Chains A and B, each alone.
Chain A
């Protein structure tokens, strides 16, 4: 099941390098030994969907069903969190199926990767990995319908054609509806992949079209759709949990007498703290179970708990910022990237520029906090939950409940936002533990405060950049030190170095046209749960690098657009592995090289759109940023007005090149959403810790953008490159990283004040 085989024989293809010719005995060892590095000689090295747990499936019997009345139901196995994947996958299947859109319905798959293929909805991968398999599923189903009609009419398959939800016989103009053919078609064998006829993309009716609404629009608008927080089961009890206020803490004692007096409260249950690494384990604490959520919340307020705060009791954002700043001052960090001789180039440079950037913890803060209903009884476990990773959830439940995997059912609801938080199923485990404890279905609610104070936080980081410029102001040396706690800290005990995949998000894969580049990674311990948040490490890397490039332009008196394009360099294809990246978002370096021509194009597009270079009133300014992430190229140009220290954003222009477009409306909405989220990162959102405790508890202190801070105008430019036979890029995450630096650069243009610390907050108030 390989979409993109790259034979490992490549590694042993000694003839491709002239340097290997004429080697002696040693080279023979090499040539013989290298191919067996893989699982089997000549086995393909797998990338993309092929390399993911449980890979992909394209069986039409799994993804497509057709009822007697002709209604086509497409089973979508990826989680819907507002990105429109239920619509986009259905569009792909329906197009190849030649189905009428108003006859198409969507159902959500439960967690079951052996049946559906990988379901872990992260990494901006759903269409990147499943566009081709879903095309084949639709085309296979269409072929089976055509074969059923040909059989019924006793004519060759070549004389029939599916279109408009019927199969037509060309010779007699007879037609049969999909509904009438469905039963016979379902009994036929699935056609071979190799002989399958896919549509000519020029004839797509839905894919690439901008007029397809969300399949869930009506239900969402009417309030009839079911999110995790909406699920109800017969006999259900309701729970909330008092969790340790400091990560790593535990309950010393609890007095629950007052809680049990609250009307509606049924039980108080103690939960064990996690072992380290905490991974997706519940945090422990005291659960209050009641006949309704309000009673459970009031019962929780009445608990008297003595906590032991544990090893992170002294965690303070202010102190940790100083710790990170000290770490990046030293040169003893781990060497992670080195091209040329940065030390010599800096020593010989005409000008040296140094800057440090601080990016705080963030919480994903989905509008729907985590929520789950669990029903554990008689050797089975069934849950309904807003999860991004249903198979991971299923495996954890099976392990925790000590049940076979097949006795665990994970029903996936719609997600009221996810942003990475709902990839971690700790909240589902909590619900299941409580259901087992009380012997009834339990609905576990996380309040907004629970979510903000017990998140898997985006890391906090300090990025130190130093550049050497020659006499013409061209950057000839680039030294980047990055210090931040790693996501690895939830998977392993106390790792202090960033993981390769984190560094591959905009640092080791930065296409800098600079001859001397070096990057170092000093240690940084984690004092809270660190998790992935939409676009992950691209956030700090893009903010620092794109701000710094603008600073270099300013230092040399050059135009920031011209300077950015100079640093990107000429149009070229870069093999990420050859510049030091060892992740490449899991994709083949051959299929997914970094394309600086595309990065330049999106940059030039937004610059032209915003009217780069035009005169603006005092207090207004334009800023630019460009960033490559999730194998897509994005640039942003922002106009700001700064009035009495307040930042207003009249306009944002954002351009993305993600390859061919499957659902243009959703690409636009993802870019618009990224802009809003990025405005929050730039201006207001921040999680800080004091005494180990997050200091933000709700949206009065964790300030996501309001109407007055949102841009007045957002224009999205879809820059297309490549057809549907070319690799697709990600969409859900790559819009976010360049937003904050474009705003910071615009603020500098407007005020002369350089923002090196996010969020801006009150830095511009005198």
Chain B
């Protein structure tokens, strides 16, 4: 299961669920989803500057032609880098999506449901397409 799947599932919930007919509710729902996904990104990047830097850089650029930068044995690090990529490019996609949801919330609070829904839709599509 990757972020793409989680977002697909969330998208179904957002746009198919009658309880989330209101755009602000959809945003709240997705923010919670992204908060939880952020925990996985934190875990995947891990705590050291070197490890986090290597994993996030490779996850964001999808650069794997030379293989992952080894901070541990090759197979373990390959798995770690894949994990980092799968949880939103090292968290980069989550961070950006959350910020864009903030913009959508402004639209919702301004009563612009249509524009808000479009923005939420675009965020979801963007996340899915990015993976």
Q: Is the CB of B57 within 8 A of A499?
A: yes
Residue of B16, B77, B95 with most partner-chain A CB within 10 A: B95
User: What CA separation (Å) do A33 and B31 show in the bound complex?
Assistant: 17
With A6-B39, A20-B29, A53-B77 as known contacts, state yes or no: A583 contacts B52, CB within 8 Å: yes
Q: Check A53–B80 contact: CB distance below 8 A.
A: yes
Instruction: Specify which of A45, A487, A586 is in contact with B40 (CB 8 Å cutoff).
Output: A45
Task: State the Cβ distance, A416 to closest chain B Cβ, in Å.
Answer: 20
Is B35 in contact with A53, judged by CB distance below 8 angstroms? Answer: no
A210 sits at the interface (CB 8 A): no
- The answer to whether B61 and A499 have CB atoms under 8 Å apart is no
Give B72's nearest chain A residue, CB to CB: A53
With most chain B CB atoms within 10 A of its CB, the pick from A21, A120, A123, A577 is: A577
Across the interface, name the chain A residue whose C-beta is closest to B5.
Answer: A33
Query: How many whole Å from A503's CB to the nearest CB in chain B?
Result: 7
Q: How far is the CA of A502 from the CA of B91 in the complex (A)?
A: 12
A508 B95 Cβ-Cβ under 8 A: yes
Contact of A341 among B5, B61, B83, B106 (CB under 8 A): B106
* Cβ-defined partner of B56 (8 Å) among A48, A113, A499: A499
Partner of B103, one of A17, A123, A338, A588: A338
Cβ of B78 < 8 Å from any Cβ of A? no
Specify which of B19, B70, B76, B106 is in contact with A23 (CB 8 Å cutoff): B19
Interface of A is mostly: mixed
Residues of A within 8 A of B88 (CB): 582
A120:B42 contact, CB within 8 angstroms: no
Q: Tell me if B128 is interfacial: C-beta within 8 Å of chain A.
A: no
Question: A491 — which chain B residues lie within 8 A by C-beta?
Answer: 53-54, 57-58, 69
Given contacts A19-B20, A587-B42, contact A500 B56 (CB under 8 A): yes
**Centre residue among B2, B10, B91 by max chain A CB count within 10 A:** B91
**B9 near A29: Cβ-Cβ < 8 Å:** yes
- B60 and A497 within 8 A (CB): yes
Give the contacts of A46-61 with B (CB-CB under 8 A).
46-49, 51-54
Q: Considering only CB atoms, which chain B residue lies closest to A581 in the complex?
A: B38
* Interface contact A487-B57, CB-CB below 8 Å: yes
Return the CB mask of A377-393 against B: 1 if under 8 Å, else 0: 00000000000010110
Number of contact residues on B: which range applies? 35 or more
| Contacting residue for B42 out of A337, A389, A486, A586, CB 8 A | A586
CA distance A123 to B70 in the complex (A): 18
Residue of B nearest to A530 (CB): B53
Count chain A CB atoms within 10 A of each CB in B17, B49, B69 and give the residue with the most.
B49
Q: Mark B70-114, 1 if CB is under 8 A from A, else 0.
A: 111100110010010001101110111011101100100100000
User: B60 near A26 (CB under 8 angstroms)?
Assistant: no
Mark the stretch among A34-42, A135-143, A427-435 that contacts chain B: A34-42
Beta-carbon contacts of B32-75 to A below 8 Å, as 1s and 0s? 10011111111111111111111011101101001001111100
In the complex, the answer to whether A577 meets B69 with C-beta atoms within 8 Å is no
Q: Output the nearest chain A residue to B2 by Cβ-Cβ distance.
A: A37
Chain B positions within 8 Å of A340 at CB level = 102, 106
Q: A30-B12, A338-B100, A499-B52 given as contacts; is B47 within 8 A of A586 (CB)?
A: yes
Q: Could you tell me if A586 and B70 are in contact, using CB atoms closer than 8 angstroms?
A: no
Expressed in whole angstroms, the Cα–Cα distance for A17 and B33 within the complex equals 11
A336-B96, A499-B60, A586-B42 given; A29·B102 CB < 8 A: no
Q: Are B57 and A583 in contact (CB under 8 A)?
A: no
Bound state CA distance, A395 and B75, in angstroms? 13
| A220 contacts the other chain (CB 8 A) | no
Closest chain B residue to A53 by CB distance? Answer: B72
Contact flag A122-B50 (CB < 8 Å), given A34-B9, A491-B57, A582-B38: yes
Cβ 8 A contact of A500, one of B41, B47, B63, B76: B41
Chain A nearest CB, measured from B8 CB (Å) = 8
* Complex partner residue of A120 from B29, B50, B61, B73, CB under 8 angstroms: B50
From B19, B29, B40, B102, give the contact of A338 (CB < 8 A): B102
Contact at B58–A24, with CB atoms within 8 Å? no
A499 touches B51 (CB 8 A): no
Whether B70 lies near A48 (C-beta < 8 A) is: no
**In the complex, per-residue mask of A493-520: 1 if CB is within 8 Å of any chain B CB, else 0:** 1010101111100001000000000110
User: Is B76 within 8 A of A586, CB to CB?
Assistant: no
Bound: A36/B14 CA distance, A: 20
Contacts of A341 in B (CB 8 A): 106, 109
Give the Cβ gap from B102 to chain A, nearest Cβ, in Å.
Answer: 3
Residues in B4-24 with C-beta less than 8 Å from chain A: 5-6, 9-10, 12-20
Contact yes or no, B16 A587, CB < 8 A: no
| Contact yes or no, A589 B39, CB < 8 A | yes
Minimal beta-carbon separation of B123 from chain A (angstroms):
11
B127 to chain A, nearest CB (A): 14
Residue pair B13, A586 in contact (C-beta under 8 Å): no
Contact status of A26 and B57, CB under 8 A, knowing A47-B43, A577-B38: no
A585 touches B57 (CB 8 A): no
For B62, the closest partner residue in chain A by CB is A492
CB distance from B104 to the nearest CB of A (A): 10
* Candidates A23, A25, A499; contact of B92 at CB < 8 Å: A499
Interface presence of A77 (CB below 8 A): no
Do the beta carbons of B6 and A34 come within 8 Å of each other?
A: yes
Flag A471-502 by CB within 8 Å of B: 1 or 0 each.
Answer: 00000000000000011111111010101111
B25 contacts the other chain (CB 8 A): yes
Contact partner, B60, options A45, A395, A495, Cβ 8 Å: A495
A495 x B57 contact (CB < 8 A):
yes
A209 in the interface, Cβ–Cβ < 8 Å? no
* Contact B1–A33 (Cβ < 8 Å): yes
CB-defined contacts of B5 to chain A, threshold 8 Å: 33, 37
Q: Output the least CB separation between B82 and chain A (Å).
A: 11
Q: How far is the CA of A501 from the CA of B43 in the complex (A)?
A: 12
Q: Which residues of A contact B95 (CB under 8 A)?
A: 336-337, 500, 503, 508, 580, 582
Asked if B46 contacts A10 (CB within 8 A), the reply is: no
- Interface residue B28 (Cβ < 8 Å from any Cβ of A): yes
What CA separation (Å) do A565 and B84 show in the bound complex? 37
- Judge whether A492 and B58 touch: CB under 8 Å: yes
Is the beta-carbon distance between A335 and B63 smaller than 8 angstroms? Answer: no
Please determine whether B17 and A24 come into contact, CB atoms closer than 8 angstroms: yes
Q: Does A532 contact B (CB under 8 A)?
A: yes
Cβ-defined partner of A279 (8 Å) among B1, B60, B69: B69
In the complex, chain A residues whose CB is within 8 Å of the CB of B73: 395, 405
Minimum C-beta distance from A393 to chain B (A): 11
Return chain B residues, CB-CB under 8 Å to A578.
31, 35
- Give the CA-CA distance A29 to B10 in the complex, in Å: 8
Chain A to chain B contacts (Cβ below 8 Å), 26 pairs: A21-B19, A22-B19, A24-B17, A26-B16, A34-B1, A37-B37, A48-B47, A51-B44, A51-B46, A120-B48, A120-B71, A344-B106, A391-B71, A497-B60, A499-B52, A499-B60, A501-B53, A503-B95, A532-B49, A532-B50, A532-B53, A536-B49, A578-B31, A582-B90, A587-B42, A589-B39
Interface residues of B (CB under 8 A from A): 1-3, 5-6, 9-10, 12-20, 25, 28-29, 31-32, 35-54, 56-58, 60-61, 63, 66, 69-73, 76-77, 80, 83, 87-88, 90-92, 94-96, 98-100, 102-103, 106, 109
Q: Return the 7 tightest CB-CB contacts between A and B, nearest first.
A: A586-B47, A582-B91, A488-B57, A338-B102, A26-B16, A26-B12, A53-B72
Having A10-B39, A488-B53, A582-B45, one finds 17 other A-B pairs with CB under 8 Å, namely A11-B36, A23-B20, A30-B12, A33-B1, A33-B5, A34-B6, A38-B1, A335-B99, A492-B60, A492-B63, A497-B92, A499-B57, A581-B38, A582-B41, A583-B52, A585-B47, A589-B42
Q: Which residues of A contact B (CB under 8 A)?
A: 6, 8, 10-11, 17, 19-27, 29-30, 33-34, 36-39, 45-49, 51-54, 113, 118, 120, 122-123, 125, 129, 275, 277, 279, 334-341, 344, 389, 391-392, 395-396, 399, 405, 420, 423, 486-493, 495, 497, 499-503, 508, 518-519, 532, 536, 575, 577-578, 580-589
